[in-house]
Amino acid sequence: MLQFDDLSGDLRKKDLRNADFSYINLRNLDLSYADLRNVDLSNATLTNVNLTGADLRDVNLFETHFIYADLSYTNLCGVDFNKTDLSYTNLRNANLIGAKLTAIILRGANLYGVNLTEADLTYTNLTGTNLISANLFLANLSNSNLSNANLMSADLRNTNLKNVDLRNANLRDADLRGANLTGVNLTGADLIGTKFEDIID
């Protein structure tokens, strides 16, 4: 495997498949549209790294820390975010279909338009996240914290929201048809225009 010490500079559209970036600091890198499939980023810290449009399928993100990273439009389909910190990360329109985000930190992250179809977000901290127009169809969000999150126009059809904290969340025009709302806390939530048909409560 390729292995690097700390890097800086422009790596746009580079083929970095199978590279080993574990346990190192990556700062101020432009990795937009790079091919990062099968890259090892375990225990790495990525600060101000631009990953826009990058292919991150099968990447190892065990205990990876993203600090103000840009992951918008990335392909993270099926990725296991094991103990990953994504606080305040930009994931706008990222592909996270089937991803495993159990018990990770997404506090303050931008998830506008993200595709989380069938993703596992159980016990995840999503406090204050931007999930406007996000696709959460068939996702599992049980026991997660979505207080103060913005879910306006989000697709939450058939989503598992059991025991989710949605206090003061914005659910205006969200689609919750067929969702499991058992034990949900909706205190102070904005429910104007929210669709609730066929819910489980």
Q: What is the DSSP string of 40-89?
A: B-TT-EEES-B-TT-B-TT-B-TT-EEES-B-TT-B-TT-B-TT-B-TT-
Residue-level pLDDT at 107: 86
Q: Are 152 and 132 in contact (CB under 8 A)?
A: yes
Could you tell me the two tokens for 150?
A: 């913005």
Question: Which residues, given as ranges, of the chain have pLDDT below 50?
Answer: 1-3, 5-6
Task: Give the N- to C-terminal CA distance of the chain in Å, as an integer.
Answer: 50
Angstrom distance (rounded) from CA 87 to CA 116:
17
* pLDDT attached to residue 198: 82
Q: Give pLDDT, residue 5.
A: 47
Which residues pair with residue 40 across a beta bridge?
20, 60
pLDDT score at 6: 44
What pLDDT is attached to residue 152? 98
In this structure, the number of other CB atoms found within 10 A of the CB of residue 77 comes to 18
Backbone angles phi, psi at 127, to 5 degrees: -60, 125
